[in-house]
Amino acid sequence: MVPKNAQVADLLVALQKKANISDEVMPKIRAYEAHVNKFHKILPPDHSVMSLYDYTSIFVAPFPEDESSKKISVFHFDKEPSKAHGVPFQFALKEVCITIKISSALLLIYYRASLSVKQNSDSQTSPRSRGNS
């Protein structure tokens, strides 16, 4: 337990002592807020505990060190998104350069399409297809 006037950093220190979390893991630990079993936001260390809403859940988990700007929030639900349950989480998307593969595939499709157009136009202009009368 931490006092109401404490900050999230105080909460993390208390958790480290209570759960025997190593000093190597602690820099990766982040507290985040969830509402109705859906990820809401990561809580900064200077966030006041008193300003947290009464009906939110606070979760603490290790986050990867790379702070990607693109993240996906995930939550579990049963048949309908309004029936959320479980512990929500978030993970970062890694950017991968695939422009070469896409460009090669598009070039191959274009090449094949131009060949079929050329073959169709050649067959339409051949003497056999005109029909000699």
Task: Look up the pTM and report it.
Answer: 0.61
Q: Looking at the predicted structure, is the pLDDT value of residue 35 above 50?
A: yes
* Whole-angstrom distance, CA of residue 132 vs CA of residue 41: 77
Q: Which residue has the higher pLDDT, 17 or 94?
A: 17
Looking at every residue in the chain, the average pLDDT score rounds to: 78
37 falls in which pLDDT band (50, 70, 90)?
confident
Which pLDDT does position 70 carry in this prediction?
76
* Whole-angstrom distance, CA of residue 105 vs CA of residue 112: 11
Q: What percent of the chain shows pLDDT beyond 70?
A: 73
Whether 99 and 65 have beta carbons less than 8 Å apart is answered as no
Tokens of 35: 């509402």
Q: How many CB atoms lie within 10 A of CB 34?
A: 20
Whether 96 and 59 have beta carbons less than 8 Å apart is answered as no
Q: Which residue has the higher pLDDT, 117 or 115?
A: 115
User: What's the longest Cα–Cα distance across the chain?
Assistant: 101
Which pLDDT does position 133 carry in this prediction?
47
Query: Phi/psi of residue 21, each to 5°?
Result: -85, 135
* Whole-angstrom distance, CA of residue 19 vs CA of residue 48: 22
Whether 7 and 45 have beta carbons less than 8 Å apart is answered as yes
Query: Phi/psi of residue 18, each to 5°?
Result: -70, -40
